[in-house]
Structure 1
C-alpha cells in the first residue's frame, strides 16, 4: 500500500505502509508513519536544529537494523542537511529534522528510532543538554526510580540545577539538565563524571560508574558517556524497536512516584491519551537553561568535604 501526503508545500510519497514492523503487536510501517505525523508538533521542538542519526529497520524490528548518520544521495533536496568533518578524515552529511514532512519521510525510510546530538548545528561544540543515563541492573525499574530521587537531591537541592526526566522506552531513565551554550563538551562531561563519582561514593551499594558489566554486580550504572561531541541520545517521543512500540517519554517528578510506572509505560497507542490530559513536561525546558559554573564550585566543595570526612 502506498500513498502521497502533503505537509504545507511538501509532498511526501509513502510506500509499503501495510508492512508489519512489530510482528507480535501487529503494528505496521503505516502505524509508525501515522504516529510520527501526529506527534510532530510536540516532538519537533526537542529535535529541530540537531544532527540526527537514523536507526533503520527496513524489514521490521526482528530483522536486521542499521545505524545511518550520512543522508543518502536519494534523500530529497527539501530535507535540510548539514555536513560535519570527521576526525579520521572525510565528512558526514547529517539530516536536520525541522519539520513534519521530514519526520514522516524518515519514518517511511524505516527509521524507527531517531537519535540526536546534545548540541545544535549552529554551535556543534557547545552542548545545550547534559544527560545522566540510568541503566538498571537486574533489580529493574524500581531501583532506577530510587536512584533518580537520590540524584535529584544532589543536582537540584544541593547544586541548584534544573533536572528534567524521560523514560527511555527501553529499560532506564534519562535525567537531563538544559544548558546555556557556555561550555565545551569536555567541560560538561568532566562535570557529569565528577557528579557521578560523588554519587558512587555516597551510594556504593546501589550505584556505580563501572563501564564493564561484570564489575557492576547488581548496582545501577551511571552512564555519562553521551556527554561528548557527536554522541547521540534517543530523541524525546521516539519509538523504540521493542514489541508494543514503547515511546521515550518526558515525565515529571510526581509521575516518577507512581508505583506502576515503567520505562515502557507509554506506547504509540496510549501516548496521545496521556498528552490529551497533560502538557508535555518538557514544553518549557528552554526557559530553564543554566550555566554550570556555580554548580561546579558547589560540587567541588562537596567532594572536598567528603575527602576530609574520610
Structure 2
C-alpha cells in the first residue's frame, strides 16, 4: 500500500500528496521526495524558475516505467502557469513554468523525479540565456579525468569572457554552465559551444573528443555540444536523478571539485548541505556576458576547414550537416 493521501502546507499553498509511501527509490518515499523539494526549494527555484520545464515522471517509482511530460500534466493548479515553446519540428505547445516551491511539490505529486528546464526565460523562449555543457565520460575514465577537463573548459570559457559554473550530473559526469546575454538563437549558441569544445579538444586531445559517433570516441570524454540544441535539456541544479542512491545534481565550488564524489549528494544528504553552506552558484545570473567571442571560435574553425557536426537523429536535416551515418557503416557502403 502507498498510504493515505496527505496535505502539505507549502508557503501559502496546500498541496495534496497521494500515495505518500510509494517507494520512489528503495528506502525513499514520495513523501521524502516532497520534503526534499521543500527543503531545497529556494535554491531549486533559482535554477528552474521563469523557465519552461520538462518533467521526468515515474508513476511507480524509479524502478518502473518513465516518461517525459512536455505538456503540463492535467490538473495543473490555478497558481501555476505555462508558456508556449517551439520544437525542432516547428510545432509549438505550452510547457509548465515553476515559479513557486508549491508548484514543484505538485510536480512531485505527479511523480516527477527530475526537473529539466530549458535554457531560456519565459520572456523569450527562442534565445538561450545559459550555455550548458555536458561532459560525458566514456568507459575507462575516472572522475579525476573529468575534473581536469572541466577546469580546462572553464579556462576556455574565461578566455572568451564567460564565467563557468560547475555541478555534478548525479551520474558519472559533470555539467558546466555559463550565463550569456540572450541575443542568439539556439543554432548560433550550438555553434559557439562547438567552437569552445573544439578548443578544449585541441588542448587535451588525449582526454577530450567532440566525436558524435561513439565508435570514434575511444576512452575520451565527450563534450556534448548537442545539448545546446532546441528542446535539449539537462537535469537542473538540485534536481534528483532516477539513479541508484537517489543522487542529486549538485552545484559545487570549483575549489572543492577534488574533494567530492557523486555519491556525496543525495536526497537524504543535500538538505543538510544546503542549510550549512553558501550557494556555489550565487550571482550566476549577474555574470551573464556576450556570446560573440565564443562564436568567433566557431568562425575561426570554419576558416580552418572545420564545418558542421551531426545533429541528433530526431532533428530535421540541417544546413551543412554531414551524413547521419556511422563512420564504419559509411566505409562498408
Q: If the length of structure 1 is used for normalisation, what is the TM-score?
A: 0.90
Q: How does 1:1-20 map to 2 (within 5 A)?
A: 1-20=4-23
Is 1:32 equivalent to 2:33 in the alignment?
A: yes
| Residues 298 and 196 (structure 1), Cα distance of their counterparts in 2 relative to 1, 3 Å cut | closer
Q: What 5-or-longer segments of structure 2 have no aligned partner?
A: 307-333
Query: Quick one: distance in 2 between partners of 1:80 and 1:239?
Result: 23
Task: Look up the SS of the partner of 2:228 in the other structure.
Answer: coil
Query: Quick one: distance in 2 between partners of 1:251 and 1:87?
Result: 33
| Residues 16 and 285 (structure 1), Cα distance of their counterparts in 2 relative to 1, 3 Å cut | same
Deviations 1:143-202 (A, max 9, x none): 11111122222222x333211001111111111110111222222111110111222233
Shift of 1:76: 2.6
Is 1:278 equivalent to 2:280 in the alignment?
A: no
| Residues 85 and 54 (structure 1), Cα distance of their counterparts in 2 relative to 1, 3 Å cut | same
CA contact (8 A) 1:173 1:263 kept: no
CA contact (8 A) 1:171 1:264 kept: no
Q: Over aligned residue pairs, what C-alpha RMSD do you find?
A: 2.2
Is 1:268 equivalent to 2:273 in the alignment?
A: no
Task: Look up the SS of the partner of 2:148 in the other structure.
Answer: helix
Query: Quick one: distance in 2 between partners of 1:160 and 1:251?
Result: 21
| Residues 239 and 131 (structure 1), Cα distance of their counterparts in 2 relative to 1, 3 Å cut | same
Is 1:147 equivalent to 2:149 in the alignment?
A: yes
Query: Quick one: distance in 2 between partners of 1:76 and 1:285?
Result: 30
CA contact (8 A) 2:87 2:231 kept: no
| Residues 89 and 219 (structure 1), Cα distance of their counterparts in 2 relative to 1, 3 Å cut | closer
Q: What 5-or-longer segments of structure 1 have no aligned partner?
A: none
Q: If the length of structure 2 is used for normalisation, what is the TM-score?
A: 0.84
| Residues 199 and 8 (structure 1), Cα distance of their counterparts in 2 relative to 1, 3 Å cut | closer
Query: Quick one: distance in 2 between partners of 1:182 and 1:280?
Result: 27
Task: Look up the SS of the partner of 1:58 in the other structure.
Answer: coil
Shift of 1:78: 2.4
| Residues 73 and 16 (structure 1), Cα distance of their counterparts in 2 relative to 1, 3 Å cut | closer
Is 1:104 equivalent to 2:141 in the alignment?
A: no
Task: Look up the SS of the partner of 1:231 in the other structure.
Answer: coil
CA contact (8 A) 2:85 2:125 kept: no
Q: How does 1:195-234 map to 2 (within 5 A)?
A: 195-234=196-235
Shift of 1:113: 0.4
Moved more, 228-237 or 122-131: 228-237
2:177 paired residue number: 176
The number of aligned residues is 302
CA contact (8 A) 1:168 1:264 kept: no
